[in-house]
Structure 1
Amino acid sequence: MQGNGVRVKGDEFWHMTKVLRLSDNDRVELFNGKGGLVEGYIQNIDRSGLDFVALSDPKLVPQQNTQWHVFAGFGTLKGGRSDWLVEKCTELGASSVTPLLTERSPSISESRADRLERVILAASKQCQRLHEMVLKPPVEIDELLHHIEQSKLSLLATAKATPVLSALMSLEKETSGLLIIGPEGDFTVKEASLMVDAGATSVSLGPHRLRVETATIALLSTVMLWSDSKQG
């Protein structure tokens, strides 16, 4: 592909020229969200778009070894809190985020899902993440139980459980699994019991009651660092 050109238009054109203020001959990198990366430069800018010329053949960067999948009851969060949750999950390296439909968080609108896709794209560019995080369709507890049964490790954030660091220290090396966080008001007793019976491990995130987005990022951060320390 070296020497080949690509026409960039639309939102990406606007972002590159109006936000990043790039101009002719500036070096840039383009990625496709699936590990593909190509280096090049801007050859020309006009009113409708810009022309990118590759300086090298595309590179395919392997996906990270850690594969943590977040299931969180954030469908009813307001005031941009779900945007923040998804943005930080993207930055921290979660493989996917799935809205979890529970008795206390029964739905999430399609328009919200469209917005969250845009949040993921913007966060991926900001943190230079080459493999985009996947926003999966919402699932109910019954479907989640099947995922728990098939996973080697599923961590369920609940109060009055083993502290998460103590639980992780007692486990064998794992670099993938499920992280499950309840909605505002937490899971019902029945929901939590079903997940534990399916194989989930209950873990505590400290003595205070945390918001959904706070608990999600606390658990994901802890597990990502634990996974990284287990590498090699």
Structure 2
Amino acid sequence: MTRVLRLGINDRVELFDGTGGLVEGSIQKVDKGGSDVKLLEDARLIAPDGIQWHVYAAFGTLKGGRADWLVEKCTELGACSVTPLLTERCHTVAENRVDRLQRLVLAAVKQCQRIHGMLLNPPIQIADLQSVISQSKLAFVASAESPPLLSTLPKSCNEESGLLIVGPEGDFTEEEVNVLKASGAVPVGLGPCRLRVETATISLLSALMLWSDAHRQETLKCR
């Protein structure tokens, strides 16, 4: 606040707790140890708005900061959670990497001013994902040569949450795709080019966030 934004005494700020709590305050003191802020109101609880998208992506073997980029951009775009997906071709995630990703999520939440934080879950096996998919009416799995995403989206939707599933480098095995489809996931295509894991994840999330936001705006107009 003070070093980058150059805020000082009596400047007003908004404080949030990452779970929807929001309160306005005024800076009273600034020193090397931090800043003292006086609250100007009682805290408000802001409910999540729109469809809450949960990302399941097999990014554990990505190198060169690509996993960092994926998680950071999911946070900025408004994903509710990101869960590393363990598959036959991506069967591990280093523990020290998870700690780093948690720090990236926190930094991105503050940078893009999210009132609700993004949850980074422990890795999950495809077998454990089946029950999650079966309980969701909005579950999409990125799959080459599948129908275009936009052609598969429903014209109306009252769901509060949805799932995005993206496979590893080398894609899902045929058996894994069949398991996901049998559980209720809808295969969707993301264009004619073969995309990297992080590109496919962000492309799918961006499209669904824009679709759900447009749907939300139309719903508000009809009220």
Q: TM-score, normalised by structure 1?
A: 0.88
Q: Match of 1:113, SS?
A: helix
**What residue in structure 1 maps to residue 42 of structure 2?**
57
**What residue in structure 2 maps to residue 42 of structure 1?**
27
Q: Match of 1:206, SS?
A: coil
**What residue in structure 1 maps to residue 209 of structure 2?**
224
- Select the residue among 103, 127, 152 that pairs with 1:118: 103
CA separation of 1:202/1:46 partners in 2, compared to 1, >3 Å: closer, same or farther? Answer: same
How big is the shift at 1:41?
A: 1.5
Q: What RMSD in Å do the two structures reach over aligned CA positions?
A: 1.5
**What residue in structure 2 maps to residue 162 of structure 1?**
147
Q: Residue deviations 1:98-148, cap 9 Å, x none?
A: 000111111111211111111111111111110001111100110011111
- Identity over the aligned pairs, expressed in percent? 60
How big is the shift at 1:56?
A: 1.7
2-structure distance, mates of 1:73, 1:85: 11
2-structure distance, mates of 1:115, 1:126: 17
2-structure distance, mates of 1:27, 1:172: 39
Q: What does residue range 152-231 of structure 1 map to in structure 2 within 5 Å?
A: 152-169=137-154, 174-231=159-216
How big is the shift at 1:77?
A: 1.0
How big is the shift at 1:24?
A: 2.3
Q: TM-score, normalised by structure 2?
A: 0.92
Runs of 5+ unmatched residues, structure 2? none
Q: What residue identity is the alignment partner of 2:66?
A: R
CA separation of 1:53/1:152 partners in 2, compared to 1, >3 Å: closer, same or farther? Answer: same
Asked whether 1:84 is paired with 2:50, we answer: no
Runs of 5+ unmatched residues, structure 1? 1-15
User: Segments of 4+ in structure 1 off by > 6 A?
Assistant: none
Between the two proteins, the alignment pairs up a number of residues equal to 217
